[in-house]
Structure 1
């Protein structure tokens, strides 16, 4: 196992230039595409709270059951917001947005924290100003329409999006994209190197002869560098007589 691990390490060191080149090229390409090619998208959101109805606001009857009931209503309201009963009215009341009900359905996302009465409506668009105006329109229409649907007025807008606010796009995230591509390209490069080595059936060492051919190694011929050949040639050109070393030289 130790020998195999050393072989893998040696293989990676041998192909390090290939791995590094592939990872660098893929990471640079991911950063370029994320920064210059992919169109940035912006997100605006507003928060609403499902409270007790106006008819019961003067009563001192808030308890755990009523809070739990309002929290359960949030799930129902999350579904109602994304129905034509709300989206169609947004299209009619705010024609300046230039959106259809299908466009709104693709842009909208409604979320809530478990066991709370707060809902968050989020709209994603190519322009933050348009996203903010759209999410505010959806919030207003939902607040004004829910009493006729549920026969209770218990929705309050906590905060609206500000169209003139300067925000950063939510996508693409260049750093995350580059990090993901870096990891994936590194794993693919390693896999390719190991696969190439596995499919290569050429003999590289004495161990390969015993492993693939089942034959013992009788002798080996070592690699000789050019500088070693020069050294040996120079050594042969000298001869010793007694205790004195003489060198042959052609004048």
Structure 2
């Protein structure tokens, strides 16, 4: 994916990312509030040798001796020999091993200083344990270094910085916890957003279509919440942005070069993608431009053209194909434009056979010679084979895909069906395209109308 793809994902899923970030911060805050505050106190001791003569050589030897001994004393500091006296002196209800977990002993590199740090919920007790441990370490070292041949220990540990109780706890670190919680929540939100995008198989914009096929995207019809109430938008509201999108589709269709004439099958992958309304509105738009248009309802299973246009549809294409009626008797003019409509007629038991018959081919050939453009509203490609059969008799198929409804698998299957039968794809039309949000393709403004419209195109065109 490119950078703009990631930016699109972030914009599309910003609510999820924000919510998980806030959850992470809230979880960190809850964790911090439920933790017992811990205070730290630190004492420091200096390791030195008691040189006999005090010469420079003795001092150097004593210094090296001290440095060599410091690592061992660091380990001794958390041993029972040091901590048991601390427990007894302070009356602690714990064991040496448990107390050792509260104590951290360290020494800077090449240094004769030993730092004893203690953490406890009581700041005063932390300081007392640190001081007691430093004193006990001094006594333990003196006892360890005193042998039978030496009357006094050659090593002396002196407290150079006693521990003092602090007022600010070192744990929990609330600012750090909140920052970490926010970062973890943010990372989780981004991961969820990317995962949702990867698992989302819906076709949501023209770029998704371009990833599947190199056929051009010749139109994007914006979503209209009142589409069910006014399916024929060019008649109901000619200045609507959806109506303007159909005019843009009409213009783009004129630049599609197809061998075999200007007859097109309007189909889709699955039902309810807006193919019938696209066919009707496109036919009206072409007629408004002065084209002689024949609109044929070839959906012999669930015909809708007659209902949309408010005409009688009981007799139509089916009757013509079986020789029960003549085209001139059942084909009706519609509106004050050169648009002629042939309804589907009665639903036959064998739609695919009728649509693939020689009678249908002869009818289409006659229409191509008589009209400037022939538009056939056909059933969806995946449920039945009618559209695939019919598309072989026309110049090409216009595949309608609904944004957010059709999956990439369904669209790919529909295009494969057309390719299998040797049909041509004139282009694709996206319907129900969102006008707001990250998947919106609305921009600019329509000249003289005061609204924006636009559509994407195939990157592979």
Task: Report the counterpart of residue 162 of structure 2 in structure 1.
Answer: 160
1:48 counterpart SS class: strand
- Once the two structures are superposed, the pairs formed by residues 1-251 of structure 1 within 5 Å of their partners are 4-34=2-32, 36-53=33-50, 55-56=51-52, 58-61=54-57, 64-92=60-88, 94-151=89-146, 152=153, 153-162=155-164, 165-212=165-212, 214=213, 216-217=215-216, 219-223=218-222, 225=224, 232=238
Q: 1:59 to 1:98 in 2, by over 3 A?
A: farther
Q: Is the contact between residue 48 and residue 157 of structure 1 (CA under 8 Å) also seen in structure 2?
A: yes
Question: In structure 2, what is the Cα distance between the partners aligned to 1:75 and 1:145?
Answer: 15
TM value normalised by structure 1: 0.80
Aligned equivalents of 2:61, 2:200: Cα separation in 1: 71
Q: Which has the higher contact order (CA 8 A, sep 6+)?
A: 1
With the length of structure 2 as denominator, give the TM-score of the two structures: 0.45
1:149-195 deviation digits (Å, cap 9, x = unpaired) = 02223211112123xx4421110000011111111111111011001
Q: CA RMSD in A?
A: 2.8
| Higher Cα radius of gyration | 2
SS in 1 for 2:65: helix
Q: Deviations over 1:41-63 (max 9, x none)?
A: 1111110011122x537444455
Where structure 1 has 5 or more consecutive residues not aligned to the other structure, the ranges are 237-251
Q: Are 1:68 and 1:115, in contact at CA under 8 Å, matched by a contact in 2?
A: no
Q: Which runs of 5+ in 2 are unaligned?
A: 147-152, 227-232, 244-287, 289-461
In the alignment, is the contact (CA less than 8 A) between 1:97 and 1:130 conserved in 2?
A: no
Pair 45,188 (structure 1): closer, same or farther in 2 beyond 3 Å: same
SS of the residue 2:43 aligns to: strand
- SS of the residue 2:221 aligns to: coil
Residue 232 of structure 1 aligns to a residue whose secondary structure is coil
Query: What does the per-residue CA deviation read over 1:81-119, in whole Å, with 9 as the maximum and x for residues that have no partner?
Result: 111221223233x15233321221111110111011101
Change (3 A) 1:130 1:180: same
Asked if the contact 2:43–2:161 (Cα under 8 Å) also holds between the matched residues in 1, the reply is yes
The residue number in structure 1 matching 2:297 is: none
Q: Find the residue that maps to 1:27 and give its secondary structure.
A: helix
